Amino acid sequence: MSFIIWTIQLILVPVLSPLVIGVIRKSKARFQNRRGASILQPYNDVWKLMHKDEIISADASWIFRYAPYIMFAVTLVVGASIPLVASFLKNEYTSDILAIVYMLAIGTFFLALAGIDTGSSFGGFGSSREMTISALAEGGFIFSLLTLALISGSTNLFSISAFIAAPNLLSALPIMLAFLGFFIVLLAETSRFPFDNPATHLELTMIHEAMILEYSGKRLALMEWASANKLLIFISLAINLFFPWGIAQNLSLGAVTFGIVVFAVKVSLFCLVIATIESTIAKLRFFRLPDLLIVSFILNVVAIGLII
Amino acid sequence: MLVLIASPTGFIELILFFAVGAIGALCLRKDDKLANVRSSFFAIVGSLWGTIFSVGALFALNTILFSIGTPVFPLLSVSIAIDKLSAFFILVISLVSLFCSIYGFGYVRHFYGKYSIGALGFFYNIFILGMLVVVSASNALFFLIAWESMSVASYFLVVYDRRDPNNISAGSLYLVMTYIGTACIVLAFLMLYKFTGSFDFTIIKTMMGTIPDWIKNVVFVLAVVGFGTKAGIIPFHGWLPSAHPAAPSHVSALMSGVMIKTGIYMMIRLFLDILSPIPEWWGLSLLIIGSISSLLGVLYALTEHDIKRLLAYHSIENIGIILLGLGAALTFTSLGIHSLALLGLVAALFHTLNHATFKSLLFLSSGSVINQMHTRNMEEYGGLIKYMPQTALFFLVGSMAISALPPFNGFFSEWLTFQTLFQGIASLDFYAKWIFVGAAAVLAFTGGLALACFVKVFSATFLARPRSSEVAHAKEAPFSMRFGMGALAVLSLLLGIYSGHISAVLGYVGRDVSIFHDVPALFLSSEAGRLVVGNFSSVSAPVLFALLLVVLVVTWGVVRFFVYKKQEIHTGITWDCGTDLTPRMEITATGFSRSIISIFKSVLKPSMQHAVEYHDAVSRYLPKTRTVTLGVRDMYRLYLYEPINGFVVRLSRYVKRLQNGIINAYMLYMFVVLLVVLFLAVR
């Protein structure tokens, strides 16, 4: 039984993640008074790219060739280790907050190396910017999860989710502050506004796109898919750790079905929020970004100050 | 068997191996090859025996206690006490020196005919010998002799490449700072002697109750300065980034990997064992020192483009992380929370072991790069992964381990350190709690910055296109060097995967320290390879590793063989916007970290100098050349070392007036001194 659940956990994130991208793109198109492509378009994109030939730079090494697989595998493992629709699937092996943070860092590490590997100047500055942002986001990321861990007395993500699900007015304020901090980190780590523009190839502003500029075919498909996975992982963390109401607490058909429905609704709402932000605010100048990330960190420190 | 290995004879044999290696190398100094074979052989066999001996001593029932010879001097006795803590440090030293010696056998060949190999072998063996005795001596005077032989031997190794004037000045700085540190240590031991009447550690420990508190505090400060100088904590780190790069690479690996840990060993020995009970502020101040060292260490590392200096700054960072674990352990000890204190001690010990492996791995692999490139400047590397694929792989493993990426070992010791700090945040009183919050924040940022730094090092060295013509001549390192690096890389992975078991062993080591004798093993346990901290956290290294590996292989297999099998992969040139791409268009190590440096400009004080040369000096419209020099001001040199240096120089100038060359004046001085002495004696 547990093996089946693990397998479901493992494939749930990659199966749903292109849909998330589709929903965000669709809502952004509506904001721009366009009809936009179908929300299933990202699946078609992946399928199309998977069936194309590839060109790899002569300067690239095996780092460039294997980085997409490593990135994709890491997002799969992390996706399997976080609560998605049920908090009773607790595992004591990989669902630790620090394990999650540092496993995602493996992906960032190889992504940045792959960006430099082809010797293109775009890839180089993309990696430099990405590492700057992710280095500064790390404090906020760990501390926002730490706030929850201190409230719930465990660093296991499933325990946190189960604990926060029980309503408690006393810890509502620190949870909200930690959520604001986490939300800023979410935007930074998933290359969203105001940190990065996922829809641009303008050399002055791109970060994530600059690193994957030299990819094509299957490897590009994996890179795109992996970043979609990462987005869904962060959204799931946000909704299941900070607002876990409705998550399935036990293994009954009713609870699990309700959990799935609630999960779908909350993820869609979150996509709408992200789309709204991307449509209404402008991208910040690169050297303003540290201020935002420090704000995220300070919000979390205040949250910790409220609970300890 | 165990009794045979873990016996006084075993330790004497260990000492003899290195002594024979040292003397043999000196005797055979006429023949470079023979001297190298001789010294490396004994160093390798000695370290191998050291590993076996220390494992035996770890699991021996009793502490190995013995003295050699009858005491000639009343206060100095050659007494050795190897408890579990000493055995653990002997293990770390032997393990690292084993692989460094194997590597060194191939590495020192390029010194043949240039410098004396015999001298190198002599000092190398004496250096390891000194470290081994430092961690096992139980008499303060004997300890100081070993400490000095370790320091002096390492000084000669630092100035070994003596034709480079930079190395000579680095060596002098090292020697001066070491002696300042040693002076503090001597003073600390003298104060203990004054109140206990003994230099023997066990006697000092039993007499601890008779020592007034303020003396203990003074001893603490002196010990932190003295041993901290050796460990390289900020602001006493000045010698480290210049001395470690100057030494031959396998020696840098030993210095950075284990020598600086002897300072940590003595801190643990003094603060947790000998001087207990201790006040709370000791632990808290170590936490603050550790936070400053780790954050500033990694920031300075980011500014470097000399590969070995960069690694040396990372040693400072990691010593800071070890001190976070140790400082937390001291704080918990002073508050009587012994189970958490043990957790902190285990975190510190585990990080000591891990840092020893991955830092020596990084130094060895950077050494083999420098050996081919003949420069330490990363800006002249690039694309080396194609010429030295195995070295690149080993360096990658080291980079991932030091950046705390699972499943390598660095992650698990940082995980334990984080857990210790989290426990402190959850359970301590107001002031201590906020210091713990600060320490955890520093650790989080340090992790992120270290990751950025190693992306920079690895990509500037091994990726993209070559940035100098030297790269094309680079060849893979010889077998013995690759073996040394490969073994350390495998060790990094294994220490990560078996982190659960290792921390259980370290818990056992920690419980041998007398104050932790009766701490139950429950709090930090490991079943099925899991690391468990109470009900709070758990992580399983084997599952993490297996899961990552299986998912990676399956993903690769499915995408490669089940989706569009007929895919063709062409090789083309990188998109060049219609111009020819040159290596000058790649990002450089300096450029890569410049944005982080600008963000931390209040700490790092980056400097930039423009110089423009014009075609025409009158109109100044057409510039001929433009130069931009980017740099970072060294705050410590500017605001700490230089003022102290200036003060000493000014003082010396005054003192010089006494030494005026007139013999009558000197007679007068003697007469005055005699009078004063007589006066004091008679009174």
Contact by Cβ (8 Å): A303, A177 = yes
Read off the pLDDT of residues A287-298 as tens digits, 9 standing for 90 and up: 899 999 999 999
Whether chain A has a CB inside 8 Å of the CB on B407: the answer is no
Q: What local confidence, expressed as pLDDT, does residue A289 receive?
A: 92
Residues of A whose CB is below 8 A from B567: 51-54, 217-218
Q: Is the pLDDT of residue B175 over 90?
A: yes
pLDDT digits (tens, 9 = 90+) for B405-424: 988 999 999 999 999 999 99
Q: What is the pLDDT of residue B634?
A: 75
pLDDT band at B523 (very low <50, low <70, confident <90, very high): low
List chain B residues with CB under 8 Å of A54.
Answer: 567-570
* Residue recorded with tokens 């990321």: A141
CB contact under 8 Å between B591 and A92, yes or no, is no
> How many residue pairs bridge chain A and chain B with CB atoms within 8 Å of each other?
254
> Which residue's structure tokens are 């300065």?
B225
Please check whether residue A151 touches B, CB under 8 A. Answer: no
B477 strand-pairing partners: none
pLDDT at B191 over 80: yes
* pLDDT tens track for B303-314: 988 999 999 999
Of A76, A154, A214, Cβ closest to residue B535: A154
Q: What is the pTM of this model?
A: 0.94
Contacts of A175 (CB under 8 A, 6+ apart): A147, A148, A151, A164, A242, A303
Q: Which of A77, A127, A156 sits opposite B547 (nearest CB)?
A: A77
pLDDT digits (tens, 9 = 90+) for B239-265: 999 999 999 999 999 999 999 999 999
pLDDT at B3: 73
**Which pLDDT belongs to residue B283?**
94
pLDDT at res. B601: 87
Contact B539/A at CB under 8 A: yes
Q: Does A98 touch chain B (CB under 8 A)?
A: yes
pLDDT mean over B515-526: 71
Partner residue facing A218 (CB), from B535, B559, B573: B559
Q: Which of B259, B258, B311, B319 is nearest to B290 (CA)?
A: B319
Interchain proximity B444–A139, CB inside 8 Å: yes
CA distance B298 to chain A (A): 12
CB-CB contact of B356 with B444 (8 Å):
no
Q: Which residue in the set A54, A70, A146 is minimally distant from B552, CB to CB? A: A70
Q: CB distance A155–B536 less than 8 Å? A: yes
Residues of chain A contacting residue B458, judged by C-beta atoms under 8 Å apart? 113
Which chain B positions have a beta carbon within 8 Å of A10's beta carbon? 551
Residues 449-488 of B with CB under 8 A from A: 449, 451-452, 454-456, 458-459, 462-465
Check residue B262 and give its pLDDT.
Answer: 95
> B133 falls in which pLDDT band (50, 70, 90)?
very high
Number of domains in chain A: 1
Instruction: Please tell me which of the candidates A57, A73, A214 has its beta carbon nearest to residue B551.
Output: A73
Quick check: B422 and A155 CB within 8 A?
yes
Taking the Cβ of residue B437 and every Cβ of chain A, the question of whether any pair is shorter than 8 Å is answered with yes
Which residue stretches of B109-239 are H helix? 117-134, 140-158, 165-196, 201-206, 213-231
Q: State which amino acid sits at residue B622.
A: L
Binned at pLDDT 50, 70 and 90, residue B426 comes out as confident
B 571-600 near A (Cβ less than 8 A):
571-576, 581, 583, 585-587, 591-596, 598-599
Q: What's the confidence (pLDDT) of residue B522? A: 56
| pLDDT of B603 | 84
* Token reading at A86: 């049920």
Compute, in degrees rounded to 10, the torsion defined by CA atoms B28, B29, B34, B40. Answer: 100
Task: Look at residue B321 in the predicted model and tell me its pLDDT.
Answer: 96
CB contact under 8 A, A308 and B426: yes
Q: Domain span at residue A231?
A: 2-307
Give me the residue from B425, B426, B540 closest to A94, CB to CB: B540
Q: What is the 3-state secondary structure (H, E, C) of B654-667?
A: HHHCCCCCCHHHHH
Higher pLDDT, A205 or A194: A194
State the nearest Cα–Cα gap between A58 and chain B, in angstroms.
6
Model confidence at B72, in pLDDT bands (50, 70, 90)? low
Q: Do B598 and A142 touch (CB under 8 A)?
A: no
Q: Residues 160..199 of A with a Cβ closer than 8 Å to B: which?
A: none
Say which of B447, B539, B575 has its CB closest to residue A99.
B539
Strand order in the sheet with B524-525: B524-525, B530-533, B537-540
Q: Flag whether pLDDT at B219 surpasses 80.
A: yes
Q: For residue A223, what are its two tokens?
A: 């890179």
A191-205, B362-376, B533-547: least confidently modelled range? A191-205
**DSSP secondary structure code for residue B305 in this structure:** -
A167 has pLDDT over 80: no
pLDDT at B364: 95
CA distances from B22 to A64, B37, B100, B140, B492 (A): 47, 12, 16, 25, 30
- Across the interface, whether the CB atoms of B463 and A116 are under 8 A apart is answered yes
Q: For A11-30, what is each residue's pLDDT tens digit?
A: 889 999 999 999 999 999 99
- Which of A92, A214, A304 shows the shortest C-beta gap to B574? A214
- A297/B441 CB distance under 8 A: yes
Dihedral-angle region of residue B605 (phi above 0 means left; psi in -120 to 50 means alpha; beta otherwise):
left
Q: Which of A102, A135, A222 sits opposite B452 (nearest CB)?
A: A135
pLDDT digits (tens, 9 = 90+) for B447-499: 999 999 999 999 999 998 898 888 888 999 999 999 999 999 999 999 999 99
SS3 state of residue B579: coil
Residue B71 CA: distances (Å) to CA of B67, B68, B76: 9, 8, 7
pLDDT tops 60 at residue B592: yes
267-306 in A: which are within 8 Å (CB) of B? 286-287, 290, 297, 301, 304
Report the interhelical angle of A217-237 vs A172-189 (nearest 10°): 170
Taking 80 as the threshold, does the pLDDT of residue B528 lie above it? no
CA atoms of A65 and A83, how far apart (whole Å)? 31
Q: Give percent of chain B with pLDDT exceeding 70.
A: 98
B337 φ, ψ to 5°? -95, 80
Structure-block tokens of residue A209 = 């796109």
- What pLDDT does A205 receive? 79
Facing B445 at nearest CB: one of A63, A125, A139 = A139
Question: Minimal Cα–Cα distance from A225 to chain B, Å?
Answer: 12
Q: Quick one: which of B161, B13, B43 has its CA closest to B103?
A: B43
Q: What is the 3-state secondary structure (H, E, C) of B47-83?
A: HHHHHHHHHHHHHCCCCEEEEECCCCCCCCCEEEEEC
Instruction: Give pLDDT tens digits for A235-273.
Output: 999 999 999 888 888 777 888 888 889 999 999 999 999
pLDDT tens per residue across span A77-109 = 999 899 988 877 777 888 899 999 999 999 999
Q: What is the pLDDT of residues B2-17, one digit of tens each?
A: 777 778 888 999 999 9
Nearest CA in chain B to A94: B539
Q: Tell me: pLDDT of A170 over 80.
A: no
- Which of B149-153, B335-339, B590-594 has the highest average model confidence (pLDDT)? B149-153
Q: Mutation target for A interface from B388, B431, B463, B603: give the one with most A CBs within 10 A.
A: B463
Q: Which residues of A touch B593 (CB under 8 A)?
A: 128
Give contacts of A57 with chain B, Cβ < 8 Å: 571-574
Give every CB contact of residue A243 below 8 A, 6+ residues apart in sequence: A179, A266
- Which one of A54, A136, A146 has the shortest CB-CB distance to B570? A54
Q: Is B557 on the interface with A (CB under 8 A)?
A: no
CB contact under 8 A, B422 and A94: no
Q: Check if the beta carbon of residue B555 is closer than 8 Å to that of residue B547.
A: no
pLDDT of residue B292: 94
Q: Cβ of B539 and A94 within 8 Å?
A: yes
Domain boundaries defined on chain B = 279-562+587-599, 636-682
